[in-house]
Amino acid sequence: MEFNEYQKLASRTLYGNEQVLTNCALGVASEAGELVDLVKKYTFHGHDLDKKELTKELGDVLWYLSQIAEWADIPFEEAAVQNIEKLKRRYPDGFSTERSRNRIE
């Protein structure tokens, strides 16, 4: 599925009012917190990593991000493309801890 197609399909389930941006921004934080909790339980509490639940939370974060872009009239794919372009400029040969230490922003 393409990013813009996802954004369009996801927007079918958005309940909109004047607080859409605030609702979606808070939703990102909330769902990211649920994702972080899964990682914390895996990393520090000895739980198995529940990939089904992790996938669900990733999808929830994705939904909120797509709807923030929708609200701002930004094609979701544009955000993805710009991010990859920034990463290519920042790390033209891929990430390296050595290069990262010596890098000045």
Q: What is the pLDDT tens value at each position of the chain, 105 positions in all?
A: 999 999 999 999 998 777 999 999 999 999 999 999 999 999 999 999 999 999 999 999 999 999 999 999 999 999 999 999 999 999 999 998 876 666 555
pLDDT on residue 96: 86
Q: What is the pLDDT of residue 105?
A: 53
Residue 17, pLDDT score: 75
- Orientation angle between helical segments 76-90 and 51-71, nearest 10 degrees: 110
Q: Provide the whole-model pTM.
A: 0.86
Output the pLDDT for position 101.
62
Q: What share of the chain is helix, strand, coil (3-state, %, to 5)?
A: 75, 0, 25
